[in-house]
Structure 1
Amino acid sequence: MIHALLIPNAGWTELLARARRLEDMGVATVWVDDHVLNPAHPEQPWLDAWSLLPAIAASTSRIRLGPLVANGVLRSPAMLVRQALSVAHISDGRLDLGLGAGYAAADHATGDATPFADLVSTVDDALKGEPILDGFPSLAPLEHRIPLTIAAHGRKALRLAATYADRWVSYGGFGLATDELLTLTRERVGILEEAGTRRVTRMLLAGSPAVTAEPIWQSVDAAEDFVGRYRAAGIDEFTFYYPPGPMWSDPQADRVFEDYVTS
């Protein structure tokens, strides 16, 4: 299954056009990056993920959407649950909720973060319909539970994903060589399997030069080879940064991405 990650460093008109193009291509989910500013280019414009998600939800009809991942540093569990519930209703149940501990220094400078284990367990309680504050309505009005995706790299976080997540996601790491990324992914899949009593869907975020050393968008064959190797390592689904062209300084990458997704 193919998903796409929007980096919200463009204006609303352009971001909506990208989301609609992805919906027309048949991509499963449009994810939105969630930081207080662009970690790589803080000087660039940056729109808030939880402001974009309801707008995209109201402007599309089929595609699933969600934060990849909702940054536990930036908001309390109660506020995060309220935002998720709102977007789930606006989208008619098309929300996938991603959770992460947050890595960017600018995010941590905004205040004290809820410990990640507490964030995950509290949100999980809410997704099960259990009130998490006195007088806080549960998520019971929703027909279906919001699927939970957890970003995890270390052993402790992987155990949380194995316990609570419907889906685990990893970007691997920054600046890793091709073989290093593949080996590390296999190791994390193994830890996930050892830690859990049920199978969690495994997803890899890839396609930016920062996290994917090989030029996968030079051709459809290159993309298929990359996906095949990671499927063999235990990955089920892939989220690719979109659009890839500006990141690789190669306009052809956008066409290859579309050809790969629609092939």
Structure 2
Amino acid sequence: MSVHALLIPNAAWPELLERARRLEDLGVATVWVDDHLLNPAKPAQPWLDAWSVLPALAAATSRVRIGPLVANGVLRPAATLVRHALSVDHISGGRLELGIGAGYAAADHAAGAPADLAGLAATVHDGLAGRPVLDGFPGLAPAPERRVPLTIAAHGRKALEVAARYGDRWVSYGGFGLSAAEHLALTRRRIAYLEQARERPVRRMLLAGSPAVTAEPIWSSVAAVEDFTGRYREAGIEEFTFYYPPGPMWTDENADKVFEDYLS
């Protein structure tokens, strides 16, 4: 089972870098960075741009994989997104994981046109392979022996079909305001539909660990985290991304320690 972490870029760069390096030392598979115009939950907070943070992380780390979770299709044209991705993949020595989604935050939609996920995914998929989107702009491309893995956020049936067609990985946060039972049942239904639609292997990942999307106090103990992940693994989830650090999001003073103990 792979465990990843999501950085919320609402801290100064030295602190974000310290967090990323700590996560690399802890052995997480990927350090993801949230991608919005501003913090959807607290718009007045400071906020760093994901595609400015990612190349800096690429240069300042050496082992951990990095990427946006997820690159917001509302904010950038697909060709621009592909160029960002190929550049960061080059800087990191092939450590990029590219997540994409249609975007949900009101502030993002106010700043740009709604994304058509199918068109976005098709263009990005082709662009990562060096096909039409970058014709006439040779520049960088992934080395022949590797491919930038594509993670697609999807929740509705049409979006799940897009993830099944183009994604190497599907990711979901479940939903806001759901009980534990509702969240798990909904995740099971989405996995079942994804399995029906897919024509090749698609890994299944859950974003969890914030009170906004996880009703249970999973950071109360390592046993609580293991109980949570065990139920979702039984449902078909193969990978987990947890918000990091969990401490500021929970009243439990031991949340950060539980996270580290869980990984060790």
Q: 1:227 to 1:52 in 2, by over 3 A?
A: same
Give the drift of 1:115. 1.6
Pick closer, same or farther for the CA change 1:222–1:86 going to 2, 3 Å.
Answer: same
Aligned to 1:39: 40
CA separation in 1, counterparts of 2:140 and 2:118? 20
Q: CA shift at 1:114, angstroms?
A: 3.8
Is residue 131–residue 138 contact of structure 1 (8 Å, CA) maintained in 2? Answer: no
For residue 174 of structure 2, give the secondary structure of its aligned residue in structure 1. coil
C-alpha change, 1:57 and 1:135, in structure 2 (3 Å) is same
Give unmatched runs, 5+ long, in structure 1: none
Match of 2:57 in 1: 56
Question: What is the SS of the residue equivalent to 2:111?
Answer: coil
Whether 1:175 and 2:190 are equivalent positions in the alignment is no
The 8 Å contact of residues 127 and 139 in structure 1, kept in 2 or not, is answered as no
Is 1:237 matched up with 2:239? yes
User: What is the SS of the residue equivalent to 1:109?
Assistant: helix
Q: Which residue of 1 aligns with 2:88?
A: 87
Q: Deviations over 1:2-29 (max 9, x none)?
A: 0000000000000000000000000110
Kindly provide the CA deviation profile for residues 169-225 of structure 1, in whole angstroms up to 9, marking residues without a partner as x.
Answer: 000000110000000000000000001122210000000000000000000000000
The 1:202–1:213 alpha-carbon spacing in structure 2 relative to 1, beyond 3 Å, is same
Q: How is 1:1-263 mapped onto 2 (pairs within 5 angstroms)?
A: 1-137=2-138, 140-143=141-144, 144-262=146-264
| Amino acid paired to 1:213 | A
Task: Tell me: CA distance 1:115–1:235, structure 2 relative to 1, closer, same or farther (3 Å).
Answer: same
> Which ranges of structure 2 fall in alignment gaps of 5 or more residues?
none
**Counterparts of 1:133 and 1:56, CA distance in 2:** 25
CA RMSD of aligned residues (A): 1.1
Paired residues, number: 262
Q: Is the 8 A contact 2:100 2:152 kept in 1?
A: yes
Answer whether contact 1:193 1:199 (CA < 8 A) is retained.
Answer: no
Structure 2 counterpart of 1:2, which letter? V
* Superposition deviation, residue 111 in structure 1: 2.2
2: CA distance between counterparts of 1:242 and 1:49?
15
For 1:133 and 1:95, locate their aligned partners in 2 and report how far apart those are by CA, in whole Å. Answer: 19
- Alpha-carbon distance between aligned partners in 2 of 1:114 and 1:66, rounded to the nearest angstrom: 20
Give the structure-1-normalised TM-score: 0.97
